[in-house]
Chains A and B, each alone.
Chain A
Amino acid sequence: MTGSYSIHPSVIHTEIDDSMVLLHLTTKRYYTINSTGVVIWKSLLKQKSVPEIVAVLLAEYDASEERLQGAVISFLEKLERAELVQRQ
């Protein structure tokens, strides 16, 4: 997968310590994401594509590109199911 995602306009993110809480103002649901999720979310804020997000994580984590790509895609799909991001 090489597509890109954008953050849903109704989502408000708030960072605290090394995690982040997301509030979807349409569904009124809250979500908490951990430090890796925060890196991915911040990359989305900078409109980075999936390969670019994987590259950001590669620079930070000691894991293979293949594994990181799988983790990023799985995380983005979860966000998409919760309507927190939209596929472009």
Chain B
Amino acid sequence: MQHLTKLTVELTNLCNLDCAYCLKVSAAQHLDYALLLQVLQDAKECGADRITFTGGEISLYPHLGETLRLTEQLGYQFALITNGWHFPRLVPHLTATRSALHMVSLSIDAADAEAHDQVRGKGSFQKLMSAVSLCRLQRFPFSFQMVVTSHNRHDMEKVAVLGARLGAQRVRFSHLLPTSMSLDAELSLSPHLRQAVEIEAAQLNEILKMEVSFSASRYNPGPEPPCDVLHGSTIDINCYGEMTLCCQLSDFRHAGQAPEVAANLHQVRFPEAYQHFLQLVSEQNDRRTAALRQNQPEAEFPCHYCLSCFGKTTWQPNPNSLQSGGSPS
């Protein structure tokens, strides 16, 4: 088990867009700023030195400027994930904290306006390209991240080439984590196709000078922890002030339960919450190892397996669900 190195912080779940496949609960909630200040200090003392700020849309967080300044003062490096719509608002904050800025990660769904806007709404692609222009002008390192679905899987190469030609540092693909039966049926790839698009990403990585990679959602049949979270080195703080196992499970749309919550930081001090988190990590690693030993194919896609274990895919038969199998202590 590694030690704590990184936080993922959901500053808000408010968003100006309404992507069909969004994981996040739609009722708006901002992370309590006083709690955030405490968390940033506590996590630093526990050894963390990197933060990824996520949403919702981070530019809608009312305390973003102060948050980024404090992040820099405390000696963190930070990345942020944004849809780019309000990027001009972010520019002064990012310029002021440039020395701590590791990456601006921009969400993209296709390499052309028509297909991208079909997911994210009219005008989104133009806003995204404006954000790219500003990153380039200000010399902010930027990357693209794209959720691969049945609709856009043939666009992977175009998106990677677009990123490379625009000067992105990286294009990272990930698999769709479905939030409803209809989305699952319409957009998810079969396990076979998931592996095919991962091969496509690996080939693009070979061809292009820019890094092309796949997130931890990729096929991984090995028993070793598949991600930083399950190594115990990355924790998630959600917009309710809870420490949770993973940002991909937390605040999950249509999920009736939240066994991924390690502790509410309004009530439990950070070091103690981290111990609860490590307990969740250890249990999930054990569960996955056992499932792999039993040749459960679902466990070979670690993020899908987590969704199943933590009760997020309620429409699927769920032998792994903690609800039916007992909740973590």
B137 touches A21 (CB 8 A): yes
Contacts of B132 in A (CB 8 A): 23
**CB atoms of A14 and B134 under 8 A apart:** yes
A21-49 contacts to B, CB under 8 A, are: 21-23, 25, 28, 30, 32
Most chain A CB within 10 A, of B132, B133, B165, B166, is at B133
Residues of chain B from 83 to 139 with CB closer than 8 A to chain A in the complex = 88, 91, 126, 129-130, 132-134, 136-137
Let me know if A12 and B129 touch, CB within 8 A: yes
Is B137's CB under 8 angstroms from A28's CB? no
> What string of 1s and 0s marks CB contacts (under 8 Å) between A5-16 and chain B?
000000010101
The majority secondary structure among interface residues of chain B is helix
Q: Is the interface of A mostly helix, strand, loop or mixed?
A: strand
B133 and A23 contact, CB distance less than 8 A: yes
Task: Report the nearest A residue to B129, measured CB to CB.
Answer: A12
Is A21 within 8 A of B165, CB to CB? no
Contacts of A22 in B (CB 8 A): 133
- By a CB distance below 8 angstroms, the chain A residues around B165 are 28
Q: A12-B126, A16-B91 are in contact. Are A21 and B133 (CB under 8 A)?
A: yes
Chain B positions within 8 Å of A16 at CB level:
88, 91, 134, 137
Residues on A with beta carbons closer than 8 Å to the beta carbon of B126: 12
In the complex formed, the residue of B with least CB distance to A27 is B165
Task: Give the residues from 129 to 163 in chain B that come closer than 8 angstroms, CB to CB, to chain A.
Answer: 129-130, 132-134, 136-137, 162
Q: B182 → chain A, closest Cβ, in Å?
A: 33
Bin the interface of chain A by size.
10 to 19
Contacts of A12 in B (CB 8 A): 126, 129-130, 133
Task: List chain A residues, Cβ under 8 A from B129.
Answer: 12, 23, 25
CB interface residues, B 209-268, toward A, < 8 Å: none
Instruction: Give B59 Cβ to nearest chain A Cβ, in Å.
Output: 15
* B134 adjacent to A21 (CB under 8 Å): yes
Task: Tell me the complex Cα distance, A21–B135, Å.
Answer: 10
What separation, in Å, do the CA atoms of A42 and B311 have in the docked complex? Answer: 53
Mark each residue of chain B from 271 to 306: 1 if its CB lies under 8 Å from any CB of chain A, else 0: 000000000000000000000000000000000000
Complex: how many Å from CA A12 to CA B88? Answer: 14
Complex Cα gap A22–B162 (Å): 16
A14: B residues at CB distance < 8 A: 88, 130, 133-134, 137
Choose from A21, A28, A32 the contact partner of B162 (Cβ within 8 Å). Answer: A28
Q: Are B162 and A30 in contact (CB under 8 A)?
A: no
Q: How many whole Å from A38's CB to the nearest CB in chain B?
A: 13
B126 and chain A: residue at smallest CB distance: A12
Q: How far is the CA of A23 from the CA of B126 in the complex (A)?
A: 10
Q: Determine the residue in chain A with the shortest Cβ distance to B136.
A: A30
Q: Which residue of B lies closest to A14 (CB)?
A: B130
Please give, as numbers and ranges, the residues of chain B lying within 8 Å of A30 by CB-CB distance: 133, 136-137
The reply to whether A32 and B137 form a contact with Cβ atoms under 8 Å apart is: yes
Interchain CA distance A32-B139 in the complex, whole Å: 13
* Nearest A residue to B112, CB-CB: A25
Q: Residues 165-183 of chain B: 1 if any A CB is under 8 Å from the residue's CB, otherwise 0?
A: 1100000000000000000
Nearest CB to that of A15 among chain B residues? Answer: B88
Q: Are B166 and A21 in contact (CB under 8 A)?
A: no
Complex alpha-carbon distance, A70 and B108, angstroms: 42
Q: Which residues of B approach A to under 8 Å, CB–CB?
A: 88, 91, 126, 129-130, 132-134, 136-137, 162, 165-166
Can you list 9 pairs linking A and B with CB atoms under 8 Å apart?
Answer: A12-B130, A12-B133, A14-B88, A14-B137, A16-B88, A21-B133, A23-B136, A28-B165, A30-B137
**Among all A-B residue pairs, the 7 with the closest Cβ atoms:** A28-B165, A14-B130, A21-B133, A14-B133, A23-B133, A21-B137, A12-B129
Q: Which of A's residues lie within 8 Å of B, judged by CB?
A: 12, 14, 16, 21-23, 25, 28, 30, 32
Other contacts beyond A12-B129, A14-B130: 6, CB < 8 A = A12-B126, A16-B88, A23-B130, A28-B165, A28-B166, A30-B136
